[in-house]
Amino acid sequence: MRKPISVKPVIDRLLTFILSIVVILSLILSGMIWAGTPFHMSSNRLGFFTTPNYGHTSPTNVVFQPQSIYYWTGDNQLYRVGSNPSLNTMVMNALGNVQILPGRFLPSSSYQQFPLHGPYVRLNFGDSILTNAMMGMLFAAIPSKLPPVIDGSLYLSTMNHHEILSYRTTKQRIYKANLLVPKGFYTSLHRPSFAIPYVQIPLLHGVISLPYTAITMKLEERAIVKPKVVHLLNAYFSDPSLLQTRTFANGVKWYTDGFHSVIERQSPYGEQITYQSPSGYVSHLPVNEADAINTAVNFVNDHGGFTGQVSLRIISSFQQAAPITVALQQVIDGWSVFGSFSRQVVTIQNNAVISMQTPLSYMGSIIDEQTVTILSGTSFLHHLTNKQLDQVTSIAIGYGTKVTNFGTLQLIPVYQVMYGANHVVYYDAHTGEIFNDVGM
């Protein structure tokens, strides 16, 4: 009797053949993926290629802080502290527990006499216009119709055992409101020992505050770190495989995926880029400066990060759905670093970033450091003619930048003088001579 033919060996051989084909296809596909993905990309977020930041990330409440704090004792003594992380954090935490009560406008005649008599603490947020949304970021609670702060300065004082907030508003008016503060609130507002004595000097266009005596500042030489645009492009495009590049005769490079674009230019400090995008995905959204600040800070965090301490300035147009521009200026030891080398400018519309101008180069390690004595406020003014003094609208101290022959960066203390509405001249704070350098 003939034995039946077993089909199991045939099935086993067929399955082995199919499995071999699957393994070969798997190896081929793995090789294609490995070879087709650039080594500096990672896909830790679905559908998005990322590149490691060269800087650090910062939360919004660290970036949006006072640029300086002034302490007026009420007996002709004024002191200043520049942007100080530990002091700012303490002050901002204190404000976060304060409630602004409904206030009142003072007569227009009081505008010229402002600030009013008596001791006060002035929180200086630069010349930012502080709207309701921004005041809501600073305080625990605010009135529903709080008028905007026109020059970024908030004055905190005590009168008849009541804590008072005062500031300038639009239409040449002063606004005052009582505050509900927690116990021990003013402990955080005590003048620190390292505050610098200042003097108020009346000029034709207003009163300016400058150092009372000669002070010392650092004079540093630092390395310049120059990241490359090609290492960061992935962060600007959702699908880098669609990227197209065009190079122009003047050395400008243009990268685009058909929707966003990055323009690369050369400067004495290294590469600078301009990111551009359509005006967001949702149109006609109401203007909200708090959202704009968060959007700008998060965008910088995701596109290179911050390379030092920065101070924020926001420009609001008060027009519905109009773009909002946020400027982020680097700060060293409480003094702004002037010039384009240390400034990022982000424009937001419809809660989306539509442009960012930023230098890729940044200050690296300190090569050399020394101290230099700068002119007092009155001594510096002696270097200006009477005609120049009559045109001065503001004066600030900070650092100017200069590239050496060795490719390093010098940080030099300077006086920044604003003449009229927008004419700026820099002066060496040690000699009083005009300071000229590219990028300023």
In this structure, are residues 174 and 167 in contact, taking their beta carbons and an 8 Å threshold? Answer: yes
d(CA 309, CA 362): 12
| CA 349 – CA 356 distance, rounded (Å) | 12
Residue 386 CB coordination number (10 Å): 7
Beta strands in 125-252 (DSSP E): 153-159, 162-169, 173-180, 196-203, 206-211, 215-225, 244-247
The token pair at 67 is: 């640029």
Question: Distance (Å, rounded) from C-alpha 197 to C-alpha 78?
Answer: 6
d(CA 354, CA 352): 6
DSSP state of 306: B
Of residues 50, 41, 13, the one with CA closest to residue 303: 50
- Distance from C-alpha of 239 to C-alpha of 417, rounded to nearest angstrom: 46
What is the phi/psi pair of residue 246, to 5°? Answer: -140, 135
Which tokens hold the place of 330?
A: 């680097």
Tokens linked to 393: 């609208």
| Alpha carbons 339 and 202: distance in angstroms, whole number | 27
What is the predicted pLDDT for the residue at 39? Answer: 37
Q: Which residues of 217-226 are buried (b: 16+ CB within 10 A; e: fewer)?
A: bbbbbbebbe
Q: What is the 3-state secondary structure (H, E, C) of 45-90?
A: ECCEEECCCCCECCCHHHHCCCCEEEEECCCCCEEEEECCHHHHHH
CB within 8 A of 8, min separation 6: which ones? none
3-state secondary structure of 137: helix
The distance in angstroms from the start CA to the end CA of the chain is 104
Supply the pLDDT for residue 11.
61
Residuewise pLDDT in 10s, the chain (440 residues): 444 555 556 566 666 666 666 666 665 655 554 444 443 333 333 334 455 577 888 889 888 999 999 999 978 899 999 988 889 999 999 999 999 999 999 888 777 777 777 899 999 998 888 888 899 999 999 998 899 998 899 999 988 888 999 999 988 899 999 999 988 888 888 999 999 999 988 888 888 999 999 999 999 999 998 888 877 787 888 777 788 888 888 889 999 988 889 999 888 788 889 999 876 556 666 678 888 899 999 999 988 888 888 888 887 655 666 788 999 999 999 999 998 888 899 998 888 899 999 988 888 899 999 999 999 999 999 999 999 999 999 999 999 999 888 889 999 999 999 998 889 999 999 999 999 875 66
Helix (H) / strand (E) containing 377? helix 377-381
User: What Cα–Cα distance (Å) separates residue 152 from each residue in 65, 131, 170, 381, 395?
Assistant: 11, 10, 12, 25, 16
Q: Which DSSP helix (H) or strand (E) runs through 412?
A: strand 409-419
| Predicted TM-score of the model (pTM) | 0.82
Question: What pLDDT shows up at residue 6?
Answer: 54
What local confidence, expressed as pLDDT, does residue 40 receive? 37
- pLDDT at position 35: 45
Single out the residue of 412, 433, 406, 414 nearest to residue 220, CA to CA: 412
Alpha-carbon distances, residue 252 vs 262, 263, 275, 331 (angstroms):
10, 7, 13, 29
Main-chain dihedrals φ then ψ at residue 238, nearest 5 degrees:
-70, -30
